[in-house]
Structure 1
Amino acid sequence: MQKSNQLRFIDVFAGCGGLSLGLLEAGCQGVFAIEKSPLAFLTLRHNLVDGTRHQFDWPEWLPKQSMTCEDLLANYHEQVTSLRGTIDLIVGGPPCQGFSTAGRRDPADPRNKMTEQYLSLVGLVQPRFLVIENVAGFDMRFENEKGLAELVANGKKTSYAQYVADRLRHMGYDVYPGIVNCADFGVPQMRHRYLMICERKEWKREGVDLLESLRLSSIDFRAERNLPTDRYVTTSEAISDLEIKGRSLVANVDSGVPGFFEATYPFDSGFTPYQVLMRTGSHVAPNSRRLANHKQSTIEYFKTVQKICRPGRCLSKEERELVGTKKHATTVLDPNTPSPTITTLPDDILHYDEPRILTARENARLQSFPDWFAFQGKYTTGGKQRKLECPRYTQIGNAVPPLLAEAIGNILVKLVKESKASGLNALNNSIGEF
C-alpha cells in the first residue's frame, strides 16, 4: 500500500537499477522500469522488482521483461497515458555515448534520438518532477556540422543539454541543470555527472533551486551515514576489506564457469564507516567476487605498472613507453584518494596493492552498490558482443551511483512533504476564516 507521502516514479533507460535503488532507499515507490538489455534488466528485477528488500508496484498490463522506450510507447500508449496524475517522477539517463568526451560526440548518433523518446514519455505522463542524468559532456557543444540542424538556436551551435532543457521548458517545466561530483555524496569515486532536475511550473515554490538544494544537502547526507564530512571517502576505505592477501581462495560458483576463484569474505570487525554502510542489510557473502585468471606474465606486467605509474593517474606517454603498452586508460588506484571514474572495461583500473584488476564487487563498492545487491548474468563479454550485451562489469560501470540517487530522492521527498504540509496549513487557515 502506498504511503501518503510516498513519491511514485518510473525509471527509463534504467540499466541494472542504480537510480531506482537510490530512490527506493530514500523512501520512494517504483512503479516500473524500462531497460532494453536482458542482462541488466535481470539484475534490476532480481533486486528491486521482485526482491526481498524492495518491490516495484508493477502494473499488470506491462510484462516484467526487457524492452525499449520505443516498445513501451508503441505497444502501451493508452495504458501509459492513463498513468497521468499518478506518477510524481520520471528518471532516466538516456545512453550517453553520443555525448561522452571519450567518444566522437556525433550529434547524428542514433543513440541521441533516445532522448526524444524520453521526452515523448514525459509528454504523456506529465509528472511533477524529472531527473535526467548523463555524462558531463552532455553539456558540451558539438563541433562538427553533421546533424546539427535540430541543435541550432538563433543561428548558433548549442549543446544537446541546452536543446533538451529548452524543450522541457516549452513543455511546462522549470529546469535546474548542472554538474555534480558523486564524491560529494559519499561515493568513493571522482565521477562528475550532468544532472537536470526539473519541476512542473505550477508546483514551483519561490526560491527553490532543486540542483542547489541537492548540492547543499551533501554534508548532512554524508554525516547521517557516518561518512567523513571534511574529505572524500578513499578507495582503501571502500574496498580494503575485499583484498585477497591473507585470505583463502575458494572456487567461484556464481558465474557458472569452472576454474575461477574468489577470496573468502570477512565477517570480522574493524570495518571502515563506508564498509559498514555497504554491508548493512547483508548477512551472507555477496556475489560478483570472482577473481580474474591472470597469466603469470600479466601479473609481472601489472607489478611493473604499479611500480612506475603515479597512483590515481593514467599512464603518461613516457610511462607507457617504459612498460611497453599503447593502452591509454590504464590507471593504478591511489588508496588514499577516491577512485577515478569506473568504466565498463575491467582492465582500465588496477588494484592499488595487488597485481590484478578489480573484481566486479570491488567496482560495485566504488559505485556505492551495497553488498546485498546481487548482480546477474555473465561477468564479461568480448568482440562484437560488446555492443550487444551488458555483462556485470558493464552494468556496474554504466550505473548511476545509488548514493547520489538516494540524495536526489531525499530532496524530492522532502519537497513533496513540505508542499503537502503547506497545502494543509493553507486549508486550515481558509477554514478558520468562516
Structure 2
Amino acid sequence: MSELTHIELFAGCGGMSLGLETAGFDLLFANELSPMAGETFAYNILGENLERKSELGEKANNTLWIKSNYAQDNLKDRLRENPFETAKGKYSDLDAKTDLNGKLLIGNIDYFLEFLNKNNKIVNQLKKKNVDLISGGPPCQSFSLAGKREKNNEKNQLPLSFSKLAGLIQPKIVLLENVKGITAPFTENGEKYYAWLEVCKAFVLEGFVPVCMMLNSKYFGVPQNRPRFILMAYRKDIFNKILKKNNKNEILKNSDKFYKIVSENINSLEKITIKDFNYYDIESNPELFDGLVLPKMTYSLDDFISTSEAIGDILRADIQYDINKTAGKYATSLNNIFSKNTLEDFSKIKNHEPRNHNPIIRSRFRFYQVIEQFQNGLKKGATDLFSGKKVSPDVLAKLNVEFSQHKLLFIKDKGEISKYPRNLEEVEVLMKSIPTKKHSQRALKEFGPAPAQLTVPDDLCHYHSEQPRTLTVREMARFQSFPDWFEFRSKVTTGGKMRKFQVPQYTQVGNAVPPLLAKSLGEVLKKQLKLIE
C-alpha cells in the first residue's frame, strides 16, 4: 500500500515512533516538551547529534524550538532550558515558511497550537497530506471537559490540546497511550469524572470515533508487567469504511453508538456516563485481542519474557559488551526487529554504567534479593521485621531457618563481608544498621516479568546475588524493549528542584512507550487502513 505517515505528539525519547516506524509509518514531524528527552529522540530517530553540535557551536538542523529564551546558535543552553519558563521566550525557529517535514519541535504543545492557528497555510498543507496517524501520550489522569474553564492545572488540559490539534489536521486515526490510572474516577467540584471517558468525548467533538482498551505490555513480548490504557480514535469517514467492512463487529458498533450519543448531547455532555461506553480489558477478554480491531496478543501466560531472559546476558555492569555478541536471544531479536537509525558507531552496548553504592546500600539490596525468594508469607514477615512491626513467634522461628540458608552482606570496617547469618538476632542487628525511609524498594524476580518501570532508579535492584545494585539505564531499556543500539542521551539522573523540569535518562526510559507495544498497535492500524484502501 502507499506510504503511511504519522505525527508524534508528546514524543518523549522515541519509543512510540520507533515502534510505529517498524510497523510501516513514516514520521512526518514530532513534538516534545523536554529538550533532554528531545535530545535522545533527535539522536536515534532523526540521526542528529545535538550534543556534538552544541560543542561545535553549530545550529540544529532537524530540531526546532517553538519558543526559547536562547538564540538558535546557543544550543548548549537550549538543551538545559526549563521548558516551563519559555512562555515569554523571544526566540522561535518557526515561521510561515517553515518546512515541518522530518522535524522535531521542542516546546509546549499549546504554543504550537497558537502557531498553527496563526498560519492557516501550514494547516491546509497538513490537511492535504491526509495524514494517516497522530499519536502521543499526554497526561490525562484528572482531565475533564467540565474543568476546561479552570486555569489552575494546565497539565490536566493537555488531552484537550491533543484533541484540538487532531481536529485541525484531521488525520485518519488518532492513537493515545496512557497509564492505568486514567480509568480511576476522580472528583472535581463535587462531581465524579472518569478521565478516559472525558478524553473520548473530546475526540468525538473533533470528529473522531473512539475504541478503548486496557492492555498489558507483557502480552506483546515486553518483559514487563506494564498495564496501559490505549485509545484509537478514527476520523468518522474512515470509521464508516472500516465498519462497513466489519458490520457485525460489536466493538465497532458500540463505538458508533457512543459517537452518536455524544454528537446528540453536545450541550449536556455531563449526562453521558460510563454506562454509555466501555473499554476492553486484555485480562478479562483476551479473545477480543485478535488483530482485527484490537491488537493481536503475541505472548501468553506460559511464555512471558522473564527478567533473566531480558538482562541475564549483561549481568556485569563494569565491563563493555559487544552488540549482538551476547548470549541473549531476546536482545538479539530486538536488534533485528528495530533497524538502526543512529549515525554513530554502535559496536558496544552503551548506557550500561553502574551507579556507585556504599556498603550500606549494597547490604540493603542484598537483603531485598534474599527476601524476594521467600515463600508462604515469609517475605511479608521479613519486611515487617525490617520496618519494626510486630512479628509472631511462629513466623520468627521460620524466618530464623530461612535466613540461615542465604548469604547476606554484613558491614565490617567500612567494607562488607558475605556470609550466612548464625541466627535471626544477627539478621536483626544487620537490619538496624541499614535503615531506609523508602518503602517502594524491592528486588527483581528472576523468572517473571519485571514490575512496571519506574522513573526513579533506586526503587528496583538486580535479582542476582553478585549484583546488589540498582539497574542501569540499559537494563531498564531492555525491560522496555528498546534495542541495544538505541542510545539514551543527556544527563543520566537529576535531583532537587531540577526534578520538576529535567528529564534525565532514567526518566526517559521509564516514561517511554515500549517499542514492541507500539509496533503491535501500528500493525493493527496499518491492517485496518489497508482493508479500506
Aligned to 1:9: 6
Q: Which amino acid aligns with 1:293?
A: N
> Given the alignment of the two structures, is residue 306 of structure 1 paired with residue 369 of structure 2, yes or no?
yes
C-alpha change, 1:117 and 1:317, in structure 2 (3 Å) is farther
> In the aligned structure 1, how far is the partner of 2:326 from the partner of 2:486?
22
**3-state DSSP of counterpart to 1:335:** coil
C-alpha change, 1:161 and 1:108, in structure 2 (3 Å) is farther
> In the aligned structure 1, how far is the partner of 2:33 from the partner of 2:516?
24
**Aligned ranges for residues 155-304 of structure 1 at < 5 Å?**
157-204=192-239, 205-206=242-243, 207=246, 209=251, 215-217=289-291, 222=298, 230-244=302-316, 262-266=318-322, 271-280=327-336, 284-304=347-367
C-alpha change, 1:108 and 1:184, in structure 2 (3 Å) is farther
Q: Which amino acid aligns with 2:194?
A: S
Aligned to 2:444: 333
CA displacement at 1:231 relative to structure 2: 2.1
Structure 1 or 2, whichever has the larger Rg, is: 2
Structure 1: gaps (5+ residues): 100-105, 250-261, 421-434
Percent of aligned pairs sharing the same letter = 34
CA displacement at 1:140 relative to structure 2: 1.3
> In the aligned structure 2, how far is the partner of 1:219 from the partner of 1:121?
25
Q: Is the 8 A contact 1:311 1:334 kept in 2?
A: no
Q: Which amino acid aligns with 1:115?
A: P
Match of 2:44 among 29, 47, 53: 47
CA shift digits 1:272-296 (9 cap, x unpaired): 4312213335751122111101112
> Given the alignment of the two structures, is residue 382 of structure 1 paired with residue 495 of structure 2, yes or no?
yes
**3-state DSSP of counterpart to 2:369:** helix
Aligned to 2:111: 71
Q: Is the 8 A contact 2:63 2:105 kept in 1?
A: no
> Given the alignment of the two structures, is residue 114 of structure 1 paired with residue 158 of structure 2, yes or no?
yes
Aligned to 2:276: none
Aligned to 1:123: 167
Aligned to 2:528: 415
> In the aligned structure 2, how far is the partner of 1:318 from the partner of 1:108?
44
> In the aligned structure 1, how far is the partner of 2:47 from the partner of 2:196?
34
Q: Which amino acid aligns with 1:242?
A: I
Aligned to 1:348: 459
CA displacement at 1:76 relative to structure 2: 3.3
Aligned to 1:425: none
C-alpha change, 1:167 and 1:267, in structure 2 (3 Å) is closer
TM-score (norm 2): 0.65
Structure 2: gaps (5+ residues): 50-60, 65-96, 144-149, 253-279, 281-285, 341-345, 389-427
CA shift digits 1:72-105 (9 cap, x unpaired): 1112332234311421111110035758xxxxxx
Instruction: State the superposition RMSD in angstroms.
Output: 3.2
> In the aligned structure 1, how far is the partner of 2:210 from the partner of 2:287?
13
> In the aligned structure 2, how far is the partner of 1:370 from the partner of 1:388?
27
TM-score (norm 1): 0.79
> In the aligned structure 2, how far is the partner of 1:285 from the partner of 1:216?
38
> In the aligned structure 1, how far is the partner of 2:483 from the partner of 2:351?
12
> In the aligned structure 1, how far is the partner of 2:356 from the partner of 2:140?
31
Q: Which amino acid aligns with 1:69?
A: I
CA displacement at 1:201 relative to structure 2: 2.1
Aligned to 2:480: 367
Moved more, 294-303 or 344-353: 294-303
CA displacement at 1:120 relative to structure 2: 1.1
> In the aligned structure 1, how far is the partner of 2:300 from the partner of 2:516?
14
> In the aligned structure 2, how far is the partner of 1:311 from the partner of 1:166?
47
> Given the alignment of the two structures, is residue 61 of structure 1 paired with residue 99 of structure 2, yes or no?
yes
C-alpha change, 1:57 and 1:390, in structure 2 (3 Å) is closer
C-alpha change, 1:67 and 1:107, in structure 2 (3 Å) is closer
Size of the aligned set, in residue pairs, is: 380
Q: Which amino acid aligns with 2:527?
A: K
> Given the alignment of the two structures, is residue 357 of structure 1 paired with residue 470 of structure 2, yes or no?
yes
**3-state DSSP of counterpart to 2:436:** coil
